[in-house]
Structure 1
Amino acid sequence: MAESVDGARDGAGTERGPGEGAGDGMEDGKGSGLRDGAGDDPRDGTAGEEPLPGIGKAEGPGTADDPARQVRRRRRTRRVLYGALVLLCVGVLLAAGTSYWAFQHYTGRVDRIAGVFPTNVPASALPPPSKDGSETFLLVGLDARSDLPTTGKDAKAPEWKPGAQRSDTMMLVHLPADHKHAYVVSLPRDSWVDIPGHGKAKLNAAFSWGGPPLLIDTVQRMTKVKIDHLAVIDWSGFKQLTDAEGGVDITVDKTVSRLHGGGPGAVWSAGTHHMDGSEALDYVRERYGLPNGDLDRTHRQQNFLRAVLSKMLSSGTFSNPLKLKHTLDQVTSVVSVDDQLSNGDLRDLVWNLRGVRSSDMAFMNAPVAGFDMIQKQSVVLLDDNACSELWEAMRNDTMTDFVATHSLDTLGDKVS
């Protein structure tokens, strides 16, 4: 009987040694020191191997070192990598498609004005081309004194008809080749200048008599600066843009009378005012009662423009897709540009100026020698010598050095 306990054979014919219980030699895969049922099959590559201590299983098919399992694992890894690559490609294509749609959507929305550049101009009156990489825009603001927009996709009134409109604002916007700054020079509307075919007159009469071509011809002859592009917006558009941005903060340095929109005895008190579109329009339209007349008015326009740009160009706008979309919707709906400014040009312009903020912009008036009354009109006399230096710096794309080394009528932090 002792043999039946100590030397008994199990059901597989394997002799158990002393101390080995019947369950310890079972091939049901549940024991702690068992074979997995494969035995010493040479096909599994583990014949004759002893189980690893603490593991209790001899290696066989389906284990970590099994070649077939390694092949299956490599195949799964490749499938995962291929899937990730496909997802990445799809994501890139979707992003590119979205960017292309946004590019086409916004650049295509901008209204184009045909035939803005003068023709049949004598070669001697043509300015030299802009320095490589730099551009100069002529920004024209119209004040139709109505709520009907004259520019942009929502225009309900004509942009120009002979004798009906005078350009209320004229600014040269110089963008240097390094795209790190922008220089805005206001041309007083009352500047007494030569207008081709009309003799001496106020600068804003050029737009009234001949629209954009005559105004561009006049400015180019006066400055010898190449006007690369034209942008037109009316104050009705600025009003909409201001309201769309939730108003702007404008600082007034001293209390001054308010003749527009405030009623009898109204004033602009010293301090910072949060203005909606209507209030801002009243502020920039003011002309009479200002110490320097038209020059102070141009600074108010610059101050307003700077306030709007500060809000539009803030980092929060560019980091918030919904806010950026809203801003672009508003800007493209109220601005008109010349038809020579292609969608690609607009894309490059926006991309090149993506890092420019209002603090990188310099606002100034063209140098003025004084004021006069000519033909019963109050006019502004430009300083020919000082203006010549300014125009030369613009032509040579050296505005940064010019601004740093010259005393100019620049826009300060506060404007009355």
Structure 2
Amino acid sequence: MAPVLAAAALLVAACTGGDEPTGPTDADDPVDGTTSLDPAPTTDESDPTTSPPPDEAAATSGPPVGAGLPEGPLTALVVGTDGRGDDPAGRADVVVVAQLSADHDALTLVSVPRDCLVEIPGVGPDKVNAAWALGGAPLLEETVSDLLGGLEIDLVATSDFVVFEDLTRWLGGFEVVNRHASTATDAEGREVVFPEGRIRLEGAEALAYVRQRQGLPLGDLDRAERHRAALLGMTERLAQVRAEDPARLLELLPLLRDGVDLQGDLGLPELLALVEVGSRLGPEGITSLSVPITGFGTTATGASVNLLDEARLAELAAGLREGDLSGYVATYGAGYAPTGG
């Protein structure tokens, strides 16, 4: 999960740096490789005394995927800021809860859009990203946990869009299915055209793709869909890298160490286990959705906010606490349009 979680962290962080709110009309706003990282034990197939039967061979082929990880679902808070390096300044424009299932077969990503009006402990009602500005990762973690009914968060991962570009280059690019043709400008001032259909992304163009809001039918909601599309593409590419050269996955560790601030109890052995788990997850194992909102509003001070669908949010929160959102998704789907409730 580490590369998948990192991909999520770096992907959602990539859309930071802008200051437009999430309202769509607001102007300011698997290739499941079979080669393990650990070499498989060797046997002499010509000697029946040294060749274990199939069932025994499977049992002796090494530890199960994810061995060493804590029991139960693993939940991370992924934070994307526009700060750089060791600079603590910046906005937490992206907040995502990433949960790995207890059986390590599924990853669920739940966005908390930055303009969601939430209750910040000790502060009161405000946009969720204000928690970061007022109290950094600890207050943001507490805010999101409270929002989701006391959800236990095991890990907080913070990154910025610079490392996202580095990760796309490490992958050698990735492909997405682009829903809406558009034109954007990358960080170097070049115009980039994104035609409808399957396209390949890397570096500055990938960053421009996941950051674009203007020119899309639902603005920031479509931008969030692009995050999910990019995550799937990066996951597919990661699986290809694993199948072609599994040892190369170890190259991810310095990138994660230097580019992602991890706060939690996971050490190097757990990160290695997460790399293995993440490299085996295919697109069908990832569910991506957002906390439900009824629509958009304006505060007394004129700030644009997302209004939460409290009833539906309670159901989503219960599913996360149980480590299983399949019932919620079966009832409501994974769409991101306002519920209007």
Shared fold, TM over 0.5: yes
Q: 1:230 maps to which residue?
A: 156
Aligned counterparts, 1:102-251, within 5 A: 133-144=72-83, 157-159=84-86, 161=88, 164-224=89-149, 225-251=151-177
Larger Cα-atom Rg: 1
User: Is 1:367–1:408's contact at 8 Å kept on the other side of the alignment?
Assistant: no
Structure-2 residue corresponding to 1:275: 201
Which residue of structure 2 aligns with residue 294 of structure 1?
A: 220
Query: For 1:402, which of 312, 328, 333 is the aligned residue?
Result: 328
C-alpha separation in 2, matches of 1:177 and 1:265: 44
1:79 is matched with which residue?
none
Q: 1:255, 1:354 → 2: CA distance?
A: 30
Distance in 1, matches of 2:272 and 2:171, equals 22
SS of the equivalent of 1:313 reads helix
In 1, Cα distance between equivalents of 2:133 and 2:86: 11
Aligned to 2:66: none
- For the residues of structure 2 that align with 1:357 and 1:388, how far apart are their CA atoms? 29
Structure 1 residues 324 and 214: CA distance shift in structure 2, 3 A: same
Q: 1:209 to 1:343 in 2, by over 3 A?
A: same
| Preserved contact between residue 171 and residue 186 of structure 1 (Cα < 8 Å) | yes
Partner of 2:184: 258
Q: 1:201 to 1:160 in 2, by over 3 A?
A: farther
Query: In the superposition, relative to structure 1, how do residues 310 and 362 fare at CA in structure 2: closer, same or farther (>3 Å)?
Result: same
Matched, 1:366 2:310: no
Does the Cα contact within 8 Å between 1:188 and 1:295 map onto a contact in 2? no
Structure 1 residues 196-230: Cα deviation after superposition (integer angstroms, max 9, x where no partner): 22222111121122110010011011112111111
The residue aligned with 2:249 is 324
Q: AA paired with 2:288?
A: F
Q: In the aligned structure 1, how far is the partner of 2:132 from the partner of 2:242?
A: 35
Per the TM alignment, residue 340 of structure 1 is displaced from its structure 2 partner at its CA by 2.0
Quote the residue 1:110 is aligned against.
none
Match of 1:189, SS state, is coil
- From 304, 313, 316, the counterpart of 1:387: 313
Quote the Cα distance in structure 2 between the aligned partners of 1:261 and 1:328: 27
Match of 2:263?
338
Question: Deviation at 1:274?
Answer: 1.7
Which letter does structure 1 place at the counterpart of 2:307? L
Shift of 1:378: 1.7
Would the alpha carbon gap of residues 298 and 288 (structure 1) be closer, same or farther in structure 2, given more than 3 Å must change? same
Q: TM-score, normalised by structure 2?
A: 0.70
CA distance in 2 between counterparts of 1:389 and 1:369 reads: 15
5+ residue gaps, structure 2, are: 1-36, 40-69
How many Å apart are 1:376 and its aligned residue? 1.6
Question: What is the CA distance between 1:386 and its match in structure 2?
Answer: 0.8
> Quick check: 374-383 or 344-353, which moved more?
344-353
Unmatched 5+ stretches in structure 1: 1-97, 101-130, 145-156, 412-416
Tell me how far apart the structure 2 counterparts of residues 330 and 185 of structure 1 sit (CA, whole Å).
24
Code of the aligned partner of 1:281:
L
Deviation of 1:354 (Å): 5.4
1:165 and 1:135 mapped to 2: Cα distance?
A: 27
Matches within 5 A, 1:309-320: 309-314=235-240, 316-320=241-245
Aligned residue identity for 2:77: L
Q: Which whole-Å CA distance do the structure 1 matches of 2:248 and 2:302 have between them?
A: 50
Question: Do 2:168 and 2:203's aligned partners in 1 also have CA atoms closer than 8 Å?
Answer: yes
Report the Cα distance in structure 1 between the residues aligned to 2:75 and 2:302, rounded to whole angstroms. Answer: 34
Matched with 1:13 is none
The one-letter code of the counterpart of 1:282 is: A
Q: How far 1:254 moved relative to its partner? A: 2.6
Which residue identity lines up with residue 279 of structure 1 in the other structure? Answer: E
CA distance in 2 between counterparts of 1:249 and 1:377 reads: 36
TM-score (norm 1): 0.58
Structure with the larger RCO, 1 or 2 (CA within 8 Å, 6+ apart): 2
Q: Distance in 2 between matches of 1:343 and 1:402?
A: 34
Number of corresponding residues: 269
Measured at CA, do residues 401 and 353 of structure 1 come closer, stay the same or move farther in structure 2, by a change above 3 Å?
farther
2:80 partner amino acid: G
Rounded Cα–Cα distance in structure 1 between residues aligned with 2:166 and 2:125: 36
Q: 1:136 to 1:294 in 2, by over 3 A?
A: same
Distance (Å, rounded) in 2 between the aligned partners of 1:295 and 1:376 = 21
Write the letter of the residue equivalent to 1:181.
A
Separation in 2 of the partners of 1:256 and 1:293?
12
| Cα deviation, residue 267, structure 1 | 4.5
Q: Secondary structure at the match of 1:133?
A: coil
Amino acid at match of 1:290: L
- What amino acid is aligned across from residue 169 of structure 1 in structure 2? V
- SS of aligned partner of 1:305: helix
Q: Closer, same or farther in 2 for the Cα pair 1:215/1:312, shift >3 Å? A: same
CA–CA distance in structure 2, aligned partners of residues 160 and 263 of structure 1: 25
Q: In 1, distance between residues paired with 2:167 and 2:130?
A: 27
Is contact 1:142–1:233 with CA below 8 Å preserved after alignment? yes
Give, in whole Å, the separation in 2 of the partners of 1:321 and 1:174.
24
1:357 partnered with 2:282: yes
How far the C-alpha of 1:352 sits from its partner, in A, is 4.9
Query: Among the aligned pairs, what percent are the same residue?
Result: 32
